[in-house]
């Protein structure tokens, strides 16, 4: 048996789910009208860019952040993206995200405003 070079293998796992956090910093996991959305990832054939799409079910309220998570219900998130302006809904509804990109997810550079 010959001992060879031993290296380190590292990966960055992109999140599979996206959720919403209200302007007071809460994710309403206990609300029956709230559900994180599963991200459907695809590779654009012309550019090779990875693009995602998801729909988040939310109760009425003001939403200030989108959070990117590895699990549909467990606490914790990979990164957070603060919205330029809060999204206000007067009734339960959906937030649809099209064209989620690496710059949105930022697994190595989360939004410094929101903490887990």
Q: What is the pLDDT of residues 15-59, one digit of tens each?
A: 789 999 999 999 999 999 999 999 999 988 899 888 999 999 999
With 60 as the cut, is the pLDDT of residue 116 above it? no
For tokens 């999140």, name the residue: 15
Average pLDDT, the chain: 85
Q: What is the pTM of this model?
A: 0.78
Q: 104 phi and psi, to 5 degrees?
A: -75, -45
For tokens 């550019």, name the residue: 47
Residue spans of the domains in the chain: they are: 17-105
Q: What is the pLDDT of residue 3?
A: 66
């Amino acid at each position: 048996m010959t001992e060879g070079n031993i290296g380190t293998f590292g990966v960055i796992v992109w999140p599979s789910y996206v959720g919403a956090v209200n302007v007071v910093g809460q994710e309403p996991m206990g609300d029956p009208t709230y559900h994180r959305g599963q991200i459907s990832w695809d590779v654009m054939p012309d550019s090779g860019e990875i693009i995602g799409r998801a729909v988040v079910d939310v109760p009425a309220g003001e939403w200030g952040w989108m959070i990117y998570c590895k699990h549909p219900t467990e606490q914790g998130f990979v990164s957070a993206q603060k919205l330029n302006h809060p999204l206000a809904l007067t009734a339960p509804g959906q937030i649809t995200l099209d064209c989620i990109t690496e710059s949105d997810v930022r697994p190595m550079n989360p939004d410094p405003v929101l903490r887990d």
